[in-house]
Amino acid sequence: MSNTSSEVFSDTMDFAALLEASFETDDLERGDVVTGVILGIDQQGLIVGINGSPRDGFVSRKDIERLNMRPEDYKLNDTIDVIVLRTEDEEGNLVLSVSQARQSEDWKIAEDLQTKDEIWYGEVAEANRGGLIILFGNLRGFVPASHVSDLPRGLNEEERKNYLARLVGQKVPLKVIEVNRKRRRLVFSQRDAQRDNREARKDSLLDELKEGEVRRGTVSGLRDFGAFVDLGGADGLIHISELAWHRVKHPKEILEVGDQVDVYILRLDSEGKRIGLSLKRLQPNPWSIVEELYHVGQLVQGTVSRTAQFGAFISLEPGIEALLHVSQIGDGTVQDATQVIKDGDVLTMRIISIEADKQRLGLSLRDLDLEMPVADNDAETELVETITEEVQATVTDDTMETA
């Protein structure tokens, strides 16, 4: 063999050895996200040269179409991110995906949102009986029906489906509550995001509001203990005792959900994040004119609003609640007022004491045929005061406790 042939053979062997060595050092694995340069474009897809690797990879047309694109939309020498689907096909090429690489970035963004517990606004793409479908980049996320804000309870399957369908096309606040790449699960919660939004809004409102001012709001809910009013993204509570000057059995007697009302800012608790409101403070106080309307010894007619063993509360116009003690019923031997008087009874009684400054008015069912006023003696006044204080202690204004 000539020297020239030997040199050529040696060079060929060296090149083959180098090529083999380069393949041995190629440590790409399935699932790796890498950067490459587009070397070729045809109807079938893209040929991509991977940076740092001697091998080329192939991205199929079908994969590109998942991005609503075509191979022709790319240009030679463009730099793109791809993910390795297979390390080798029948021809020894890498099988790559540009769509899944895009999704990988979306998974990272979703994981970051979950880690930081941040709110993200997404558009509802579809709705089904189970919840809402949200487009998240190249991923499809899901909001279970149990995590949809304000979804009414007690709906049948068709009603729930119709309610959720109304949200399609709307942009809603969401929080990521589950990211699972292997199972391809991306789950959101509108309820958690809404709660965080309202908490932030309540903090802001507590800084804005001042006790004693009047604000306009919308009745957002009714409970046995009072009414919630939305003041613009955060709720305050009107305790049942602050709805009116007269006794209210349930807030629905005064308000309905959706009502627009002016409310008095009664109390603010920044630490407990509670806003106490009042309706009655915006209404004339009937006790301010009670002495103009009534006097000791006067016969009046009132309605029993509530009974207890010690006596009965009587509603008088205009919003006065008086007390008929059990000792002032019959001949004074009655031990339990509930045995002889019931709620709703209309009674004619005599006024035995008036204390406008303490909002107290005492009544009696005894000696109704007498023309002379009953003496306003110390014993009667002390009795009414003691019983009234006991009763008021049981209905202490716990607005801030239940807000």
pLDDT at 234: 81
Report the C-alpha dihedral over residues 257, 263, 265, 271, rounded to 10 degrees: 10
pLDDT at 52: 82
Contact 344, 355 (CB under 8 A): no
pLDDT at 369: 66
Burial 293-317 (b: 16+ CB within 10 A, else e): ebebeeebebebbebeebbbbbbbe
Distance CA 95, CA 59 (A): 7
pLDDT at 380: 46
Residues 6+ apart with CB under 8 A from 333: none
pLDDT tops 90 at residue 134: yes
Residue 271, token pair as written in the block = 């630490």
Average pLDDT over residues 292-304: 92
Residue range 209-282, CATH number: 2.40.50.140
**How is domain 117-195 classified at the architecture level of CATH?**
Beta Barrel (2.40)
Confidence band of 370 (pLDDT split at 50, 70, 90): low
Is this model's pTM higher than 0.85 or not?
no
Residue with tokens 């063993």: 309
Residue range 26-102, CATH number: 2.40.50.140
- 79-126: pLDDT as tens digits: 888 888 888 887 778 899 888 888 888 888 999 999 999 999 999 999
pLDDT at 179: 93
pLDDT at 387: 47
Residues 6+ apart with CB under 8 A from 276: 236, 237, 239, 242, 265, 266, 267, 268, 269, 399, 400, 403
Average pLDDT over residues 139-144: 92
Least Cα distance to 172 among 151, 193, 152, 187 occurs for 193
Fold identical between 209-282 and 296-383?
yes
Distance CA 313, CA 321 (A): 6
Distance CA 181, CA 108 (A): 10
Average pLDDT over residues 116-142: 91
- 209-252: pLDDT as tens digits: 899 999 999 998 899 999 999 998 788 999 999 998 888 889 99
- Could you give the count of Cα atoms lying within 13 Å of 247 in the half-sphere of its Cβ? 19
**How is domain 296-383 classified at the architecture level of CATH?**
Beta Barrel (2.40)
Strands 185-189 and 171-180: antiparallel
Q: How many CB atoms lie within 10 A of CB 131?
A: 22
* Domain locations along the chain: 26-102, 117-195, 209-282, 296-383
DSSP 142-181: EEEGGGSTTPPTT--HHHHHHHHHTTTT-EEEEEEEEEET
pLDDT tops 80 at residue 31: no
